[in-house]
Every structure is written in C-alpha cells, then in structure tokens.
Amino acid sequence: MMKVGRFFIKLLILLMVLLSIAGCWNRRELDNLAIVSGLAIDKAEESEKIQLTAQILKPGNLSIAAAGGAGDGGRAERPYWNLTETGNTVFETIRALTHKSNRRLFLPHNEIVIFSEDIAKEGIQKYMDFIIRDHELRRLIYVLVSKGKASEILESKTELEQIPAISISQLIEVRDATSESSAVNLQEFMNRLMSKTTAPIASLIEVVGKEKTALLMGTAVFKKDKLAGFLGREETRGLQWVIGEVKSGIIVVDCPNGKGKASLEIIRANSKITPEIKDDTLHIKVEINEEGNLGEEMCSVDLSKPEVWMSIERRKAVVIRKEVMAALKKAQEWNTDIFGFGDAVHRKYPKLWKYIESQWDDFFPSLEVTVIVKAKLRRSGMITKPAKPE
C-alpha cells in the first residue's frame, strides 16, 4: 500500500519538475497575435535613430472566399495595418510598437525585410543583428533595398494578393521567369556579409506611378555592409549567370537575316568559376553553359538549316556575354566582389590566398576575367519553318 503512495508522490514531483523545466513556455492564442508579414527600416528624422514599419495582418478583414461570415463590411477596409515607430534599436522599436498595437507582434511569419536606400548607404550590419539573432525571425525572409522610403513599399497597391508584403515575397519568387532580379534570403545575405571578400547583394525594389505599384528593379550591391550601387535588370542577369542562379528567362537576339528579332527561352544554365595562374598573374575563367529553346521569331528564317541554327546560338552567346561583362564592369568599378571570385581563389589556391586575402580589394578591380559562353539551342517549338506564305 505504502509503495503505491510513494510511487504517486514520486510521479507528482517528476511532473512538477517536468513542467517547470519546459523551455519555451508561453502559450499565445491565435487571436492574440499580431502577425507581422513585412518589416521596413527607414532612417528617422532624428539622427542615429531608425523608423521601423511593421505590416500587421488583420485576419478579420481578409476576404476569404468561403468564410462568408466575415461580412462585406470588412472588405472596404484594408486587411493590413502598417504600424510605424521610431527608436534607437530594432528590438526596442519592435517592442515599442505594442504601445499602439494591443497584440504582441508575432514575427515568424514575416516574409520580407526592406531597408531604405539611405539607411543602406550608412551600413545595415547593426540592424541586421537583431534580425539574425532573434529566434522568431526565419532565415528564409527576403532582404530588399528600396529606392526611396522603405515604408512606402509596404503601402504599395496590390491586386492579386491582399497583403503587400506577401505580394512582394511572391514577386521575388516568380523572378525565376526572367532571372532579371535577385532573390536573396537572410541566410544567403548573412553568408555574403560574413565572407571576407564576397559582397552582399539584395533585391532592389521601387514604387512607381500613381498607382503605387511595387516592382523589382534589379540588385542592390553592398560593399561590406554599405550600399555601393544598383545593378539594372540586364546587369542583374549578368550576375545571375555567373553565380549560377539563372533559372529561366528570355534572351532577345537579332535574326540571322537581320530583319526582326527572335526570343529564346532559357531552359537550363550552369556556370563554373575557375581561377588560373598564367604568367604569374591571376586570371578568372568563367564558363557558362546555357541551353534554350527558340520561343518566337519575328522574322522568317528557316530553322531547318544548320547554319541558321548555329548563327542563332552564336548570337545568343554574345548577348549572354554582354550581360556578364556589364555586371562585371559595374562590380569592378565599385570594387565589390559580388561573384564570389575571392572564395573561388581561396578554394583553389589556399596557400596563395593567405597573401592575397588582405589585398583582395586591390586585386579585384583589375582582375582579368575570361567569360566563355557555350549556348545551345535545343528545340524550336511546335514549328520549324515560320508560318507564312511562301
């Protein structure tokens, strides 16, 4: 009898210990959460201070097709709430937002973090710290730089999605269709930031027109953690070619007969960066292998002829090469190793790297880069000859 009693007492003690040692012990109901979907960090008017805008979802105002009960009254209102606060540090400001919000901010569903151009120029490492350190924020959130005020991006008008932040994160995800803008998540940004030579990049976003539509413009390039400049769309693809991030896209070339243009779809592409030492100087060889299909021709060349076919391939390679060289030119101009050449040299010549490492900034601008493009045309769609009267 006594044994059983003692057993239960032991069990009780064990349970109490178990309850008290449990780590993350905060239960929060779903309706007490302010779900943050996007963060924007601007410079405050006061010096040394930041202005932080959080986009908070208002689930009640989201029109969910089947919910019905939510009512039409809610539809008139915006389903999000942009909350702005200024403060000295990011964490402080986020907490300070609860002066206005009756619910505590819930960050794990945050999808994007936008830095304004002017704050990026001053360096974003100090603001990045909280975003990387805090357990609630994911490593998969996209890092963006805005031309103009970052908070305005979160105000932009969206049509298909109801939440601007979610719309922008999807915008970044469909960049695969063109490969003309960068998609950089926190993890990649962090890796580049921590690298001694490789320069961080971020997507570039801008609000344009009266409609206030947000659109991706290209890439923001950082030197260390300070904004160095912007790459346009073509230069961005030039960068993507080298780092092997091109997924798809359209390359427009002139037709072999000189009349009209042809668009070629990129099917797959990969790249290889090989550092070489020739005559005691460091060369970088970039090999790009591309395969694509002919998607459209606005001229009337007969593709059944191999020389036409090869001519298009050659023209395509020239375009790719041009894009890469444009990106390279900008990068060398700003002395930002966005391609990761430094890391490639480190991997291939680890002993040599020790001497180069500290002087990489002197090496990079004058680095000789050979770009070899192997572009292949695979298929020509449903027809070989264009449909036209002979």
Partner 1 sequence: MFGFLFKKLQFWQLLNQRNSGKQNGNWQKSSQTSLSRDLKENLKVLKSILGTSNDIVIREFSFGYDEKINASIIFVDGLTDRMTINESIIKPLMYDTHLFDSRELLTTNNIDIIQKSMLSVGDVKIVTSLDDVIDGCLSGDTVLLINGSDQALVISSRGWESRGIQEPKTEAVVRGPREGFTETLRSNTSLLRRKIRNPDFILENMQLGQRTKTDICIAYLKGVVNPKLVEEVKYRLKKINTDAILESGYIEQFIEDAPFSPFATIANSEKPDVIAGKLLEGRVAILVDGTPMVLTVPMVFIESFQTSEDYYSRPFYTSILRTLRFISFFITILAPGVYVALTTFHQEFIPTPLLITMAAAREGTPFPAVVEAIVMGIVYEILREAGIRLPRPVGSAISIVGALVIGEAAVSAGLIGAPVVIVVALTAISSFVVPAQSDTAALGRVIITISAGALGAFGIIIILLAGLIHLCTLRSFGTPYFSPLAPLSFRDLKDVFIRLPIWAMFTRPRTIGWHDPQRQEFRQIPAPPQDSEKVEQPQGEPENNSNMKSQTGVQGLKRPRKIGNKDT
Site residues (CB under 8 A) for partner 1?
Answer: 1-2, 4-5, 8, 18-19, 22, 24-31, 33, 35, 37, 57, 59-60, 62, 64, 67, 69-70, 106, 108-109, 111, 136, 138, 166
Q: Give least dist CB 33 to partner 1, A.
A: 6
Q: Give least dist CB 366 to partner 1, A.
A: 47
Closest to partner 1 by CB, 66 vs 382, is 66
Q: Are 90 and 130 in contact (CB under 8 A)?
A: yes
In the chain, the amino acid numbered 99 is H
Closest to partner 1 by CB, 21 vs 382, is 21
Q: Are 114 and 167 in contact (CB under 8 A)?
A: no
Q: Give least dist CB 107 to partner 1, A.
A: 9
Closest to partner 1 by CB, 102 vs 366, is 102
Q: Which residue has the tokens 């572009």?
A: 375
Closest to partner 1 by CB, 80 vs 241, is 80
Q: Are 315 and 367 in contact (CB under 8 A)?
A: no
CA distance 223 to 137: 25
Closest to partner 1 by CB, 166 vs 345, is 166
Q: Give least dist CB 133 to partner 1, A.
A: 16
Cα separation values, 295 from 222, 287, 384, Å? 36, 24, 11
Q: Give least dist CB 7 to partner 1, A.
A: 9
Strand partners, 271: 288
Q: Give least dist CB 204 to partner 1, A.
A: 24
Closest to partner 1 by CB, 154 vs 344, is 154
Q: Give least dist CB 176 to partner 1, A.
A: 20
Q: Give least dist CB 189 to partner 1, A.
A: 20
Closest to partner 1 by CB, 108 vs 365, is 108
Q: Give least dist CB 85 to partner 1, A.
A: 23
Q: 142-146 and 112-116: which strand pairing?
A: parallel
Q: Are 36 and 23 in contact (CB under 8 A)?
A: no
DSSP 233-255: HHHHHHHHHHHT----EEEEEE-
Give every CB contact of residue 201 below 8 A, 6+ residues apart in sequence.
182, 184, 189, 192, 219, 220, 221, 222, 239, 338
CA distance 195 to 202: 15
Closest to partner 1 by CB, 156 vs 162, is 162
Closest to partner 1 by CB, 27 vs 99, is 27
> Which among 280, 291, 276, 272 is positioned nearest to 339, based on CA atoms?
272
DSSP 38: E
Q: Are 180 and 249 in contact (CB under 8 A)?
A: yes
CA distance 83 to 95: 12
